[in-house]
Amino acid sequence: MNKLISEILENRKGLFLDEGLSLLRVSGEDKNKFLQGQLTNDIESLSKNEYLLASYCTHQGKVITNLQILRDDSDILILLQADLANIFIEKISKYILMSKVNFEINEHVRILSAIGAEAISIINKYGIEKRKSYKIIKGNKVYINMSSSRVAMCRCLLLEQNDLPQDIRSTKTCLIDLLSNIIRFNIENTEKYIPQVLSADELDTINYKKGCYTGQEVIARTHYLGNVKKHMYLVNIYSSKIKEKNIINNDGESVGEVIGKPYEYNNKLLTHCILRDNCNFNELYLGKDKVEVVAMEDKT
C-alpha cells in the first residue's frame, strides 16, 4: 500500500463528521420511474440492503454529480456532494412536470465516517460484512459498508438531530470517497467529463442494459466504441497546496489535470486527477511538485 495512505490510516482514529455531503429524501409514487429516466444506473434493481452508485448527467453525457443511492422503506435516499445538492435538485426538477415526486434535503442529518479498526468494529456489530451492504436501524440510523479490497471503511448516517461526542472531528474532504475512487468535484469540473472517464465501469455506476435516461446516447456509444483514452486516478502530490491544476511530464507536456478536493496530511496531498492512460506515470509533476499515482484496488 502507498506509504502516505498507510501513515494516514495508522494515525486516523475514531469517527469523523463529514460536512462535505448532503442527504436527499426522494418520495412520491412516481419516484422510481422518474429516477430511472434520469440516472445512469438501474433504480429498479435497488434493494433494501445494498446501495447503488450512479451519475446524473447532461444531455451531452457529461457528469453533473455522482450519487450514492439507498432505499428507506417506500422512499429513496441519495447521498451527494453538499455543494452540488441544490444544483442537482434545480436541474432534475425541470423534468418532473406532472410526475408525483418530491426532493427534500435532510437538514438534520449527521454523516460520520470510520476507517480501519473503528470501521471493522461497526461492520461486525451491525452485520454488514458484505461490501456495499447497509442496514437501517430503528428508522433513524444507517450503517453502510464502504470497504475496498484493502481498507475497511464505513459510513454512518444519523437521520435525526443528535448531539455528537465532543471528540468527533469534522472534515469536508472524506477519505472514504478518495480511497474508493469516488470523485468529489471542484465545482468548475462538473459537466466536463463523461462517466467512463470518472471510473464508471470500475465503480459500476452505469447499467448499459436499462432504457433511456438523460445522456444515455453519448454514454452508450462511448461504451460500445471503447474509445476512452483518459481516466481518473488517485494521486499523491508532494506539496501541501495545489498551486495549479495542470499536470505535466518531464518535457513540460500537459497530460492531465487535478479535478478533486484534496486531503492534506504531513505536507502532502491526496486527490483525484484525470490522466491520459498512455502517459508515463513515473514522470508526473504539478509545477515542480512530484505527482505519484496510487493504486488502491488489487487487479484480478
Out of 87-101, 154-168, 190-204, 279-293, least confident range: 154-168
The pLDDT of residue 287 is 93
Cβ distance 230 to 275 under 8 Å? Answer: yes
Q: Dump pLDDT digits (tens) for 235-246.
A: 999 999 998 999
Thinking of the domain 3-220, which architecture would CATH place it in? 2-Layer Sandwich (3.30)
Cβ distance 162 to 171 under 8 Å? Answer: no
Q: Which fold has domain 229-294?
A: Elongation Factor Tu (Ef-tu); domain 3 (2.40.30)
- Where do the structural domains in the chain lie, given as residue ranges? 3-220, 229-294
The pLDDT of residue 73 is 87
The pLDDT of residue 173 is 66
Query: What pTM was computed for the model?
Result: 0.93
Predicted confidence (pLDDT) at residue 234 exceeds the cutoff of 90: yes
**Could you tell me the pLDDT band of residue 300, with boundaries at 50, 70 and 90?**
very low
